[in-house]
Structure 1
Amino acid sequence: MSQLTDLAPSFSPRRQAQGARSAAVVTALASGFLAAGLGLGLLAVLVLLLWITSPYPDSGPGGALHVVADLWLLAHGADLVRTGTRTGTPAPVGLTPLLLTVVPVFLLHRGARDALTPQDGRPQLAPLATGAWVACGYLAVAAGVTGYALAGPLHAAPLSTAVVVPLTVAAATAAGVWSAAGTPAVLLPRRWHPAAADARAGAAPRAEAAARAGAAGVVALLGGGALLCAVALVAHAAVAQEHFLSLSTTVSGRLGVFLLALALLPNAAMWAAAYGLGPGFAVGAGSTVTPLAAADYPVQPVFPLLAAVPGEGPGGPLTWAAAAVPVAAGIVVGAFAGRAAAPVAGEREPSWRWWPTVGVTALAALVCGAGTAAVAWLAGGPLGTETLADFGPVWWQAGGAAAVWTAVVGVPVALVVRAVRLRGAAPLPAAVPVSVAAPRGRVRARRWTWGRQGWPLWEPRSRLADEWEEEPGAD
Structure 2
Amino acid sequence: MAGVIQMTARRTTPAALLTRLRDRSPGLAPGLLGGALAAGLGLAAFTVLVILLWISSPYPDSGPGGALHIAAALWLLAHGAELVRTDTLSGVPAPVGVPPLLLLALPVWLLHRAARDAAEGGTDGAGGEAPLVPGRTAWAGVLLGYLAVGAPAALYCAGGVLRPAWQWTVLCVPLVAGLAAGAGVWTAYGRPSGPLERVLGAALPRGVRHLVLGPYGRPGVVVRAAVAGTTVLVGGGALLLVGSLGRHGGEARRAFLRLTEGWSGWLAVLLLCVALVPNAAVWAAAYALGPGFLLGTGTLVTPSSSPPVPPLPPFPLLAAVPDAGAGATSNWAVGALPVTAGLVVGWFAGRGAASSGPAPAPARPGARTAGAAGLAAVLCAALLSVLAAFAGGPLGVATLARFGPVWWQVGAAALVWLVLVAVPTSLAVRAWRRRPPGDGAGDRRPGGGGAMTPLPGDGRDGPHPPRRPRGPASGRWSGGTPFGERDADTAPGEGDPASGARG
Selected match of 2:179 from 166, 171, 187: 171
Match in the other structure for 2:70: 67
Write the distance in 1 (CA, Å) between the matches of 2:464 and 2:221.
28
Q: Is residue 50 of structure 1 aligned with residue 53 of structure 2?
A: yes
Aligned pair partner of 1:186 in 187, 191, 195: 195
SS at match of 2:218: helix
C-alpha distance in 2, partners of 1:325/1:116? 40
Deviations 1:102-141 (CA, angstroms, capped at 9, x unpaired): 2112222232233333644235333344223322222222
- Residue aligning to 1:97: 100
The answer to whether the 8 A contact 1:24-1:125 is kept is yes
Q: Matched residue pairs, number? A: 415
Amino acid at match of 1:155: R
Partner of 2:285: 273
Aligned CA distance change for structure 1 residues 31 and 363 (closer, same or farther; 3 Å): farther
Alignment of 1:140-155 (within 5 A): 140-155=148-163
The amino acid across from 1:266 in the alignment is P
**Is structure 2 residue 445 aligned with structure 1 residue 425?**
no
Cα distance between partner residues in 1 of 2:245 and 2:43: 32
Q: Whose strand fraction is larger, Structure 1's or Structure 2's?
A: 1
Cα shift at 1:190: 9.3
AA at the equivalent of 1:154: L
Say if 1:282 and 1:393, in contact at 8 Å, map to a contact too: yes
Letter of the 2:56 partner, please give it: T
Deviations 1:67-100 (CA, angstroms, capped at 9, x unpaired): 0100000000000001111110110000111111
User: 1:335 aligned to 2:344?
Assistant: no
Q: One-letter code of the match for 2:433?
A: R
C-alpha change, 1:335 and 1:39, in structure 2 (3 Å) is farther
Contiguous gaps of at least 5 residues in structure 2: 1-17, 125-129, 203-211, 436-447, 455-461, 467-503
Q: Specify the code of the residue in structure 2 equivalent to 1:342.
A: A
Alignment of 1:78-157 (within 5 A): 78-117=81-120, 119-121=122-124, 122-157=130-165
Deviation at 1:329, TM superposition (A): 1.6
Residue 494 of structure 2 is matched in structure 1 by: none
CA distance in 2, matches of 1:201, 1:162: 36
Q: What's the RMSD between the two structures over aligned residues?
A: 2.9
Contact 1:343 1:422 in 2 (8 A): no
Once the 2 structures are TM-superposed, how far is the Cα of residue 66 of structure 1 from its aligned partner?
A: 0.4
Query: Quick one: which of 149, 158, 166 aligns to 1:158?
Result: 166
- Go from structure 1 to structure 2 and tell me whether the alpha carbon gap of 1:202 and 1:35 turns closer, same or farther (over 3 Å shift): farther
Over 3 Å counting, the alpha-carbon distance change for 1:334 and 1:109 in structure 2 is: farther
Could you tell me which residue of structure 2 aligns to residue 415 of structure 1? Answer: 427
How far apart are the structure 2 equivalents of 1:386 and 1:186? 46
Q: In structure 2, what is the Cα distance between the partners aligned to 1:378 and 1:420? A: 39
- Give 1:354's aligned amino acid: G
Once residues 74 and 406 of structure 2 are traced to their aligned partners in structure 1, the CA distance between those partners, rounded to angstroms, is 23
Which deviations, in whole Å up to 9, do the C-alpha atoms of 1:383-409 show, x marking residues without a partner? Answer: 111111111000111122122222222
- Residue 163 of structure 2: SS of its match in structure 1? strand
TM-score, normalised via structure 1 length: 0.80
Cα deviations by residue, 1:131-152 (Å, 9 ceiling, x for unpaired):
2332222222221111111122
Q: What is the Cα deviation at residue 317 of structure 1?
A: 2.0
Paired with 2:464 and 2:227, the residues of 1 have a C-alpha distance of: 38
Q: Cα deviation per residue 1:403-458 (whole Å; 9 max; x = unaligned)?
A: 2222222222223333333445141579xxxxxxxxxxxxxxxxxx99989xxxxx
For 1:421, the aligned partner's letter is R
Aligned CA distance change for structure 1 residues 323 and 255 (closer, same or farther; 3 Å): same
Return the alpha-carbon distance in structure 2 between the equivalents of residues 303 and 120 of structure 1.
51
CA contact (8 A) 1:94 1:381 kept: yes
Q: What is the match of residue 477 of structure 2? A: none
Quote the residue 1:401 is aligned against: 413
1:36 aligns with 2:39: yes
> Partners in 2 of 1:349 and 1:228 — Cα distance?
40
Could you tell me the TM-score, scaled by structure 2's length? Answer: 0.76
Cα pair 2:115 2:139 within 8 Å, conserved: yes
Q: Report percent identity of matched pairs.
A: 49
In structure 2, the residue corresponding to 1:294 is in which secondary structure? coil
The CA distance in 1 between the partners of 2:174 and 2:24, in whole Å, is 25
Amino acid at match of 1:186: P
Unmatched runs of 5 consecutive residues or more in structure 1: 1-14, 194-199, 431-448, 454-475
Alpha carbons 2:197, 2:213 under 8 Å: kept: no
2:476 is matched with: none
Q: Cα distance 1:208–1:117, how it changes in 2: closer, same or farther (>3 A)?
A: farther
Q: Indicate which of 369, 377, 381 corresponds to 1:357.
A: 369
Aligned partner of residue 81 in structure 1, secondary structure: strand
Amino acid at match of 1:30: L
Which letter does structure 2 place at the counterpart of 1:406? L
1:384 aligns with 2:392: no
Superposed, 1:199-348 pairs within 5 Å as: 206-344=218-356
Residue pair 2:120, 2:131 contacting (<8 A) in 1 also = no
Alpha-carbon distance in structure 1 between the residues aligned to 2:392 and 2:30: 36
Change (3 A) 1:214 1:345: closer
1:309-358 CA distance string (max 9 Å, x none)? 01222132211111111112222222222332222256675353332222
**SS of the counterpart of 1:344?**
coil
**Alpha-carbon distance in 2 for matches of 1:190, 1:417:** 29
